Amino acid sequence: MYFLLQKVILPNIDLCTEEQLYFRTQGGKYNYTSRNLLVPRHKVAYFDTFFNAFSIKKWKKYTTLTSLFLRVNIIGRGTITVRHKENGVIRVLKQIDFKSSCNISDEIEIDISKINFGYIYVEWQSDEDSVLNGFELLTKDHVSKSSMALVITTYNRKEAVTKTINRINKTLLTQSEFKDRFKLIVVNNGEAINHPSGNGIIVINNENLGGSGGFMRGLIEAGKINDVKHVIFMDDDGSCEIESICRTHAFLLMAKDKNTVVTGCMLFEDNPAIIHESGAIWHRDFLHYPDKHYLDAREIDSLDTFDNERKIGYGGWWFFAFNINAIEYYSFPFFVRGDDLLFGYMHKKHNIVTLNGVASWQMDFERKISVLNSYLNFRTVAVPALISKRKFAALLLSVFFVREVFLASFSCRYELARAMIMSYNDCLSGREFWEDNVDLLEIRKRINAITHNEKFNVEGIDIVNGCVDYPCSGKEKAIYKFFRCITLNGHLIPAFFLIKKPIVVDYRHYHPTKFSFRRITIYHLNIENGKLL
């Protein structure tokens, strides 16, 4: 009996239309209505792509995989070639002539006994006009079956979460091939939502304790279901390929170690082929930075870069899958930002794996910058440093804090700087502070009390008719930077030298110090809201 490892993923007009993430073709044409690939005579379709290559390196390293088979769904006549690529060297593993009057082939065995690195991909060359509907990779290895719970936390995003529930129900829960393999648990921290009823869908109303409280409640509920062995934490807009969920479950079912965890990489919502983060790497127990940042997943060589592993410290909860038995601690059930970071810090035994084809599209974090979020972000950075046993971790945190406050002040973002100071003081207040501020209500009031200018306000500002300036691109000259530094970015310059005309800077400039020099008013574009901050 065969066990499905992965299916081909093809573009979906409702999710992503970057075709080079899915296939490459010479003369082929993709039909978005029927979702199949038309390959004319003597043309070729390649699947050495982010979503459809098979990482034999990671499957061999982390799972018990020993056998591999290919099943194709093609109408037409041509040649199927299975290739293996490692360190730029490509060789043929299997090549057969294929002819189909129907559209389902027998399984094709692929010998992987001597392959431990690189990736495998499929190539189709047409001898006549053909239609490629898909293909699957399977195994005959024994796999112990169990269910996976998909846990989603939401707060007053009724339209997004309802759409996600309907999509998962239609394309996963009600599909006969996945019968009883998946459960959906939605933890609702906000107002009641209408949702489809059915087996496998559980909606839980919960006190609003943020993402951390919601996901931990979902994890507890998943543990009560007898046959659930694995859990995925997902974003409430469900912006991932459904096949990514199925592949992840297959991978974890065959994992050698219960501590194997799969995290989906984050692709930019407004630039869907560019990776923001493929897992994140810890630095000195308090700073972290994204792995594979700004890697273009369309590039042919990007898979080699993607498979180059580094020690991942944590994975984002937009897509984070694990074995329930590998969880030693629940994260803070408090309203915090960056709760996935703290969860990863508490589970250093986890072997966090990223797989090509397992990804989620998310909004650029820098669009979400605000006074409140800056307060929460600093708390998230501070807690690991304060509990770390690493020498000088707390001292390094203080240096980082001073740097961030100075940069915010130099950028004329005084309210943001005050919020970071408030966050720093709160983190040093001891256990009682956390116990007394689980739900963030009082903290939100304090933040609102200091936020007057650094919030959305476009009254009286005409950004179209020349009433504002826009910064020039290009590298800043050294003499100009030196002059800014010795004048504290213009703070020591008399007011009559300052430019009265406001300047608008892009949302990506978190600390736009060079653009704020000698300016009275600074506006930050926030594309999420289409407004100025």
Mapped onto helix, strand or coil, the DSSP state of residue 430 is coil
364 band by pLDDT with thresholds 50, 70 and 90? confident
Q: In this predicted model, which residue has the larger pLDDT, 273 or 412? A: 273
- Ranges 57-66, 98-107, 279-288: which has the least confidence: 98-107
Q: How many domains does the chain have?
A: 4
Q: Is the pLDDT of residue 397 over 70?
A: yes
How do residues 454-482 score in pLDDT, each as one tens digit?
Answer: 765 545 555 555 556 556 666 777 887 78
Tell me the C-alpha distance between 105 and 511, whole Å.
58
Q: Count CB neighbours of 227 within 10 A.
A: 12
Q: In this predicted model, which residue has the larger pLDDT, 533 or 522? A: 522
Mean pLDDT on 309-317: 91
Take residue 170 and report the two structure tokens written for it: 């239609």
Backbone angles phi, psi at 96, to 5 degrees: -135, 150
Mean pLDDT on 186-213: 85
Helices assigned H by DSSP within 298-361:
302-306, 339-346
Is 264 found in the same domain as 169? yes
Angle between helix 441-450 and helix 371-387 axes, rounded to 10 deg: 120
Is 184 found in the same domain as 79? no
Is 205 found in the same domain as 113? no
How do residues 254-286 score in pLDDT, each as one tens digit?
Answer: 999 999 999 999 999 989 999 999 999 987 776
Residues β-bridged to residue 218: none
**Residue 369 and residue 510 in contact, taking contact as beta carbons nearer than 8 Å:** yes
Take residue 270 and report the two structure tokens written for it: 């407004």
Domain boundary among 139, 160, 180: 139
Angle at 454 (CA atoms; ends 453, 457), nearest 5 degrees: 70
Is 347 found in the same domain as 262? yes
Q: Is the pLDDT of residue 222 over 90?
A: yes
Is 159 found in the same domain as 134? no
Is 388 found in the same domain as 343? no
Residue type, 53: A
Tell me the C-alpha distance between 245 and 230, whole Å.
11
Mapped onto helix, strand or coil, the DSSP state of residue 176 is helix
pLDDT (0 to 100) of residue 368: 74
Average of per-residue pLDDT values in the chain = 87
pTM, 2 dp: 0.88
What residue ranges in 324-453 does DSSP mark as E strands? Answer: 351-353, 359-362
Q: Is the pLDDT of residue 517 over 80?
A: no
Domain boundary among 348, 367, 386: 367
**Residue 290 and residue 276 in contact, taking contact as beta carbons nearer than 8 Å:** yes
Tell me the C-alpha distance between 53 and 60, whole Å.
15
Q: Which domain holds residue 271?
A: 147-367
Mean pLDDT on 311-319: 91
Is 135 found in the same domain as 157? no
Is 375 found in the same domain as 292? no
Q: In this predicted model, which residue has the larger pLDDT, 394 or 217? A: 217
Tell me the C-alpha distance between 415 and 234, whole Å.
32
Is 344 found in the same domain as 218? yes
Q: Is the pLDDT of residue 395 over 70?
A: yes
Of the segments 292-306, 325-339, 374-388, which one has the largest average pLDDT value? 292-306
Q: Is the pLDDT of residue 483 over 90?
A: no
Residue with the two structure tokens 């978190």: 510
Helices assigned H by DSSP within 28-144:
56-62
Is 303 found in the same domain as 160? yes
Q: Is the pLDDT of residue 25 over 70?
A: yes
205: CATH: 3.90.550.60
- Ranges 226-235, 284-293, 300-309, 443-452: which has the least confidence: 284-293
Mapped onto helix, strand or coil, the DSSP state of residue 402 is helix
Tell me the C-alpha distance between 430 and 433, whole Å.
6
Is 376 found in the same domain as 266? no
Helix or strand (DSSP H, E) at 492? none
Q: In this predicted model, which residue has the larger pLDDT, 116 or 106? A: 116
Mean pLDDT on 361-375: 82
Domain boundary among 352, 367, 382: 367
37: CATH: 2.60.120
SS3 content of the chain, % helix, strand, coil (to 5): 30, 30, 40
Is 405 found in the same domain as 307? no
- Ranges 70-84, 102-116, 172-186: which has the least confidence: 102-116
pLDDT (0 to 100) of residue 522: 63
pLDDT (0 to 100) of residue 532: 44
CA proximity to 244, closest of 309, 167, 310: 167
